[in-house]
């Protein structure tokens, strides 16, 4: 663990609108912790008294279904709050695992609540984080309605490209090594089913596999494809 610097904190998009007094209070109470790939930050039903915010790397939030199958709910990157829901004093309601090695900003819930009580702007940031997650859950619920799996996969790839894409003249690269197995966990589907969906998207010239990463040939065409336009 290490302490965070004021410059590191100010560089985070999530904190850029906060006043100096709030930033000073956060720096005083925050520690930065390193997390190795595939290690857990917290588990479902675990009592957690620390709020975690991503400083670097990417982290998966997932639930376990029948037969202990994973269902990935979110992949969150820099500046995202992993467990804002613990502010309700209940145990964690989801598992959190490092998709890749990274660092987390960690602050005790009681200390964060105290600072929030003194700066409504920080409270708005926490509420906005929850709002975004709820809206994404609504979209995921919509995508559970009868829809061809290749269109559901196309929608997920489009969202990952929007969040983690690197644009080139000929398209956009999702800058993450996402395996077919991991994609299957996102949908709660069989690996073979996702493999067929990816193959079909390749045949439609919507995506390509490049060095174990997914390249989106045309984001607009991919968007129109899963929306049926």
Structure tokens at 137: 């859950």
| CA dist., res. 134 & res. 127, Å (int) | 11
State yes or no: pLDDT of 160 exceeds 70.
Answer: yes
Q: pLDDT tens digits for 50-77?
A: 999 999 999 999 998 767 788 899 999 9
Domain with CATH 2.60.120.10 in the chain: 2-142
In this prediction, residue 143 carries a pLDDT of 57
- pLDDT band, very low/low/confident/very high, at 13 (cuts 50, 70, 90): confident
Higher pLDDT, 211 or 143: 211
Cβ 48 vs Cβ 104: under 8 Å: no
Strand-pairing partners, residue 209, are: 214
Backbone angles phi, psi at 92, to 5 degrees: -55, 145
Contacts of 141 (CB under 8 A, 6+ apart): none
Question: Per-residue pLDDT averaged across 193-198, rounded?
Answer: 94
CATH number for 149-227 (one of 3.30.428.10, 3.40.309.10, 1.10.1520.10, 1.10.10.10): it is 1.10.10.10
Domain with CATH 1.10.10.10 in the chain: 149-227
Nearest to 226 by CA among 135, 157, 136: 157
In this prediction, residue 144 carries a pLDDT of 56
Range from 29-33, 139-143, 192-196 carrying the lowest mean pLDDT:
139-143
**CATH number of this structure's domain 2-142:** 2.60.120.10
- pLDDT band, very low/low/confident/very high, at 45 (cuts 50, 70, 90): very high
In this prediction, residue 189 carries a pLDDT of 85
SS3 90: coil
Contacts of 135 (CB under 8 A, 6+ apart): none
* Angle 11-15-16 from CA coordinates, rounded to 5°: 65
Report DSSP letters for 6-21, one per residue.
Answer: HHHHHTSGGGTTS-HH
Contacts of 211 (CB under 8 A, 6+ apart): none
The count of residues in the chain is: 229
- pLDDT band, very low/low/confident/very high, at 229 (cuts 50, 70, 90): low
Q: pLDDT tens digits for 87-121?
A: 777 889 999 999 999 999 999 999 999 999 999 99
Strand-pairing partners, residue 31, are: 3, 106
Nearest to 161 by CA among 179, 144, 175, 148: 175
DSSP state of 4: P
In this prediction, residue 145 carries a pLDDT of 53
In this prediction, residue 12 carries a pLDDT of 87
pTM, to two decimals: 0.76
């Amino acid at each position: 663990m290490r302490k965070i610097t004021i410059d590191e904190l100010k560089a985070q998009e999530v904190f850029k609108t906060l006043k100096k007094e709030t930033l000073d209070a956060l720096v005083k109470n925050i520690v930065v912790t390193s997390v190795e790939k595939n290690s857990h930050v917290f588990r479902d039903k675990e009592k957690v008294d620390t709020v975690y915010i991503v400083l670097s790397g990417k982290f998966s939030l997932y639930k376990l279904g029948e037969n202990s199958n994973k269902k990935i709910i979110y992949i969150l990157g820099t500046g995202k709050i992993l467990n804002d829901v613990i502010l309700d004093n209940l145990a964690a309601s989801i598992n959190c695992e490092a998709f890749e090695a990274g660092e987390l900003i960690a602050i005790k819930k009681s200390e964060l609540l105290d600072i929030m009580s003194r700066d409504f702007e920080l409270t708005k940031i926490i509420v906005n984080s929850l709002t975004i997650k709820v809206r994404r859950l609504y979209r995921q619920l919509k995508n559970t309605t009868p829809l061809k799996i290749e269109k559901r996969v196309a929608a997920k790839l489009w969202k990952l490209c929007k969040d983690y894409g690197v644009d080139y003249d000929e398209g956009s690269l999702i800058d993450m090594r996402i395996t077919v197995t991991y994609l299957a966990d996102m949908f709660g589907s069989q690996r073979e089913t996702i493999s067929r969906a990816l193959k079909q998207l390749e045949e439609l010239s919507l995506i390509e596999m490049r060095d174990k990463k997914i390249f989106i040939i045309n984001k607009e065409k991919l968007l129109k494809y899963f929306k049926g336009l």
